[in-house]
C-alpha cells in the first residue's frame, strides 16, 4: 500500500508501493525499514458518484 489510515482515523503509515512506484508520502523515520508512521491532524475525504 502507498497510504494506510487506521480505523480510528487518527494514525496511519506510508510505504513504497510497486503499483504506484512511489516513495513514502510523508517524512520521518521508517518503521522496520518499510513504512513511515504518521499522526492525522486533519482528514478530508472526497467522493464522486451518485448519492
Residues of the domain holding 21: 3-39
Q: Is residue 33 part of a domain?
A: yes
Q: Is residue 48 part of a domain?
A: no
- Name the residue with cell 513504497: 16
What was the pLDDT predicted at 22?
85
Q: Is residue 17 part of a domain?
A: yes
Q: Is residue 27 part of a domain?
A: yes
What was the pLDDT predicted at 17?
86
Output the nine-digit C-alpha cell for 12. 496511519
Q: Is residue 25 part of a domain?
A: yes
| Number of domains within the chain | 1
What was the pLDDT predicted at 46?
92
Predicted TM-score (pTM) of this structure: 0.69
- The β-bridge partners of 3 are 14
**From first to last of its 51 residues, what are the pLDDT tens digits of the chain?**
788 999 999 999 999 888 888 888 888 777 666 889 999 999 898 999 987
Q: Is residue 11 part of a domain?
A: yes
What was the pLDDT predicted at 5?
94
Amino acid at each position: 500500500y502507498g497510504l494506510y489510515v487506521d480505523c480510528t482515523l487518527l494514525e496511519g503509515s506510508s510505504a513504497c508501493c510497486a503499483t504506484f512506484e512511489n516513495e513514502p508520502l510523508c517524512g520521518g523515520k521508517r518503521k522496520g525499514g518499510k513504512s513511515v508512521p504518521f499522526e492525522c491532524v486533519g482528514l478530508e475525504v472526497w467522493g464522486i458518484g451518485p448519492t
